[in-house]
A and B are shown apart, each in its own frame.
Chain A
Amino acid sequence: MAKKKRSIRLFEPALVGTAVKQSFVKLSPRLMVKNPVMFTVEIGTAVMLAVTLYQLFTGDNSQGALWYNITIFIILLLTVLFANFAEALAEARGKAQAESLRKTRQDTPAKKVFTVGDMYVNEVKVVPSSQLSKGDFFICEAGDVIPMDGEIVEGIATIDESAITGESAPVIRESGGDKSSVTGGTKVLSDKIKVKVTTEPGESFLDKMIALVEGASRQKTPNEIALTILLAAFTLIFIIVCVTLKPFADYANTPITIAAFISLFVCLIPTTIGGLLSAIGIAGMDRALRANVIAKSGKAVETAGDIDVLLLDKTGTITIGNRKATSFWPADKVDMTDFISHCVFASLADVTPEGKSIVELAGEKNIHVKQLPADTRMIEFSAETRSSGVDLPDGMKIRKGAFDAIKKIALNNGKPFPDETESRIKQIASNGGTPLVVSVNNVIQGVIELQDIIKPGIKERFDRLRKMGVKTVMVTGDNPLTAKYIAEKAGVDDFIAEAKPEDKMNYIRKEQQSGKLVAMMGDGTNDAPALAQADVGVAMNSGTQAAKEAGNMVDLDNDPTKLIEIVEIGKQLLITRGTLTTFSIANDVAKYFAIVPALFIASIPALQALNIMGLKSPESAILSAIIFNAIIIPMLIPLALKGVKYRPIGASALLRRNLLIYGFGGVIVPFIGIKLIDMALGLFM
């Protein structure tokens, strides 16, 4: 199963081109005002432009040399452009990601079914997919590309969903039940289905996601709003610092140029995080999309990082879809080889995964039976008999089935049920296995042990979740004994056994009442209420429309372990914002040491002692500081787009680590950077 990697290079040339163009478009004050930090930089840039123009026309040199003012103006402009570029690049990447999904469903021909009155007639016309609207019906046959998202109302088909999921194996979709949903852009490989359109054109989940990335309908998430407030407060503080510096300087008889004021201000305000903030948010959505998850809002991704409880279905998530035979336990005085041969006979015609696994296990024990004799009568499994088997031409009747069903057969025919088999059955059940009893001509021969196979690596993932502080809960239809055994073996924290759909709902409610955030994944219509109730509800793309509407994310891969990835994406989003904020503010310490002595050194020579970096001249100190301030933005773009890695090492340890790297590092790095720039400038000045 080859998986198409949907990765885009960080600085894909085509995207960079768009982003560069966009960064100029974004200079429009109407767009800039949404980002208060960068907006103030833009105002500063405009003031510098005015100063420079004034100087050009009047030749008044009281504000410093012309080249100096022009340089400051250019660097400030670059600062704004760099910030815009970061945002534009993130947008372009997100859009490219979404476009590659959407491309497949541009304008595909649709075989629309027309209705006359309330009656469906068989009139089918080919129309462009854009003319389909919600509630319409269309037909798809083998080879057709499905034009719109919808729900199968008639028929069954195999569908190639690789365009959406990257998964090459075809999947089966059929009307009724939980696998009735089809996605536009996927291809029908066999059979014919009738589909009801469930979304208006332009309102599919993918369209919503693209809109979220594009910014038009991107709403700031609660944490982003709070952070913007904090950054605005810091900006205000630095406005106060700079405005009051003027009378302070007057008192100290120090003239300060406009360029110096604006430079100080721009250096101090948190431009690094201010410039990267929206890029970080978009990149988070983009990362979700790259994991093949469509989030309906940015908030959903962010909430995922806060999840306390994770509800997971046992089958398919924790265990490999089906039980497998693991041991043969013949009754006393029954030969092992005979027993296994009988088991194989009973299972050869059985196409269920359990049946196949019995044949496989027998093969491992070197017992190969290729074919059943002719004239063998198959006894299919039924809910009444709860057993299946074969009647061989020589009159041998082999049955395998549930313990009580086979026991009934034996007892009804006056045959005893061996004690050792009964105790073996109890042992198997207590080990979380399922016993399958085999009889030949109504005589009990022994028992086959079927076990749930826990997915490799799943225990480690649960350990990781536990370290993140997420509690995992397994939901299963098994009896409590089996459930407990598997729960312990897989390392989940809790389980719901013999679960009915409403049990999930009740569990979620209970956890939420104690203040916890709950995530779950589901596909069926009966999951829909629970998906809606959960704080993060991830619907599988293969699931019903109701489930997809109810959840706030859709997983295109139908991968139940995806929740773990989603939680990490959410955390990464917050961490990236937090660390870059810390870095940005910590940077200011060094910038003060560069600029404050530079401003006052002419009138207060003693302040040379504060010039601990030994910068050459006041001009070069100020230039170095704002150049550093500008170039740090593009240098951090990769980090902002990729996100700071989340490590499940416990909150305090993680804080220590990030504080050391981004806090302490944020203090040190600019000292080095500014000094280096000053040395480089020294070659020219």
Chain B
Amino acid sequence: MNSEILGVVITFLVTVLLAYPLGKYIAKVFKGERTLTDFMNPVEKFFFRVCGINPHETMNWKQFLKAMLTINMLWLVYAFFLLIFQHKLPLNPDGNPGQTPDLAFNTAISFLVNCNLQHYSGESGLTYFTQLFVITFLQFVSAATGIAALVAVFNGLKEKTTQNLGNFWVIFTKSITRVLLPLCIIAAIFLAFNGSPTSYDGKDNLVTLQGDSVQVSRGPAAGMIAIKHLGTNGGGWFGANSAHPLENPNYFTNMLEMVIQVLIPIALIFALGFYINRRKLSKVIFGVMTIGLLCLLIPTIISEINGSPAIEKLGVLQSTGAMEGKEVRFGPAASGYWSIVTTIISTGSVNSMHDSSMPMSGMMQLLGMMINAFYGGCGVGILNYLIYLIIAVFIAGLMVGRTPEFMGHKVEAREVKIAALVMLLSAFLVKTFTALAAYMVAHHPDIAWQVKPGAWLNNPSYHGFSEMLYEFTSSNANNGSGFEGLGDNNIFWNVTTGIVLILARFLPIIGPVAIIGLLAKKKFVPESPGTLRTDSWTFGMMTFAVIVVFNALSFFPALALGPLAEYFSMY
């Protein structure tokens, strides 16, 4: 048992040790300083020339967002049509069919927004062509979009007064060529050597020891598994995601995947400090986020290791902890750690079934996604944190008797309005859509839909409620993990989660970039002893309190009816 926890601790420490130099490197890349990867220069120049991009063009926040949104919309259309017509395209050795329009709508959005909610199984729902040119492609560009938006914010914070947030195309391209691609190649090689398939052959037939004949899906998976974690995407090559033996063959790959999914989000926090030369701010943000992680992680690991009281009542010994829905090769501690890490950052890949987690763990996973700012997804995690921070700056600023300031810029009505709206959005999307689903189940269980609402839930009662809540929370957080146990491949879930996904992706990116764009334009106010320092631990705790209280207020009733009711009924 202790060695299991040791494994978790080592995994975390390795992540931080790797993230620190990576953060320094990322800051250098975007500052335009000399780095190891300067050999990519000609490649980037070639892209800029072919696409007609002037890399020296500066952009204000509106131009930056316009460029970002336009290209994203283009990718959405591209992905949608490729998914529908994938059966007519090459690289389909298993002869998989095209996706229905509502599933393609959901899938295209889901991968575009870095969520990777999957209402299909990779083995049968996609072809190798779409796996590579839709799924893997979007996994790269969506992560790069998030990083680019964050670097725009860095640029706004770096200068005293500026309109220039940098050139979207340059930042975006460099995010891929200098950060995602090199790291992905390294990780993919490790995965391939540990047994993840990298072939273009179709299903393999094998005969098991029992003598059964089994068909095993394969494909060029290793590279995709690497980027799905590095880019905090999370969508699996196979339906079972990282619980699948070919997607996550052993304890080492499990550690590797756990490390690389948190690597960039943590590195970006350090990059913030190096880039704008405020390392203390980085330290405080990292500290607050880590405390948040621990608050969610410790109860999860404890409840998973202790096992289920319901099984205990049956007189079954659970010396290995709660093993339902878990892989023996990972065990409860590593599975618990994974389930928290994958939910606090927006990966959403799974190595165990969250549906089978203990109610306490389920609640922690939900909270991780509701908060969505403890490390958070590639780039967007810090953007989400920024929203909480602006609210904290505002309230704390008033409490010390000064018009609130952040990084030398006054925070006024307009910024508060944007921050409040973005903060409001998650509560609005999660709760209204869960309410809609609950309403359908409660009042129209037998409506004549292809899949009747009465048949959506595998589990009745509190757990069923958690399943619906989890699905929308996961969509809203652009996380993509599923509680499963939910019949989600039908028009209701495909369309509603699609809407939630797209709103919950772009508004929380537009908001912070706009706030920083507006702030950066304002006159710079130098710090004085009366200024509230945002890089102090006191202020860090204030932000933490805002995060906790705000999320508790928004979600307490829903959590009470789902995991809390289940927890108290069980014990």
Contact = CB atoms under 8 A, between A and B. Distances in A.
Asked if chains A and B come from one complex, the reply is: yes
Interface in A325-345: none
B400 A658 contact: yes
A578 B424 contact: no
Contacts of B538: 652, 655-656, 659
B528 A515 contact: no
A137 B484 CA distance: 88
* Residue in A251, A516, A585 with the greatest tally of chain B CB atoms within 10 Å: A251
B451 interface: no
Contact of B557 (A248, A467, A606, A655): A248
A230 B413 CA distance: 9
Interface in B433-461: 434-436, 438-439, 441-443
Interface string A608-626: 1110000000000000000
Q: Which applies to chain B's interface (DSSP): helix, strand, loop or mixed? A: helix
B432 interface: yes
B545 A659 contact: yes
Contacts of A230: 391, 394-395, 416, 420
A466 B536 CA distance: 20
Given A247-B435, A652-B538, A468 B529 contact: yes
Interface in A304-332: 305-306, 308
B549 A585 contact: yes
A243 B432 CA distance: 8
Given A515-B526, A588-B553, A223 B398 contact: yes
A177 to B, nearest CB: 37
Interface string A251-265: 110000000000000
A207 to B, nearest CB: 28
Contact of B549 (A243, A589, A607, A609): A589
A40 B23 CA distance: 48
A592 B552 contact: yes
Interface string A238-274: 1011011111101110000000000000001000000
Contacts of A609: 568
A227 B398 contact: yes
Interface stretch (B235-243, B325-333, B401-409): B401-409
Interface residues of B, number: 64
Given A247-B439, A251-B442, A582-B395, A646 B557 contact: no
Nearest to B396: A655
A600 B533 CA distance: 44
Contacts of A578: 395-401
A243 B431 CA distance: 9
Given A574-B402, A652-B539, A248 B556 contact: no
A585 B402 contact: no
Interface in B194-249: none
Contacts of A468: 529-530
B423 interface: yes
B539 A592 contact: no
B441 A251 contact: yes
B542 A607 contact: no
Contacts of B556: 592, 596
A241 B526 CA distance: 41
A177 B263 CA distance: 72
19 contacts: A229-B413, A238-B553, A241-B427, A241-B557, A250-B442, A251-B465, A252-B565, A469-B528, A571-B401, A575-B399, A577-B398, A578-B396, A579-B398, A589-B553, A604-B565, A606-B568, A654-B401, A659-B396, A659-B541
Interface of B: 391, 394-403, 408, 411-413, 416-417, 420-421, 423-424, 427-428, 431-432, 434-436, 438-439, 441-443, 462, 465, 523-526, 528-533, 536, 538-539, 541-542, 545, 549, 552-554, 556-558, 560-561, 564-565, 568-569
Interface of A: 222-223, 225-227, 229-230, 232-234, 236-238, 240-241, 243-248, 250-252, 268, 302, 305-306, 308, 466-471, 514-516, 570-572, 574-575, 577-579, 581-582, 585-586, 588-589, 592, 596-597, 600, 604, 606-610, 646, 650-652, 654-656, 658-659, 662-663
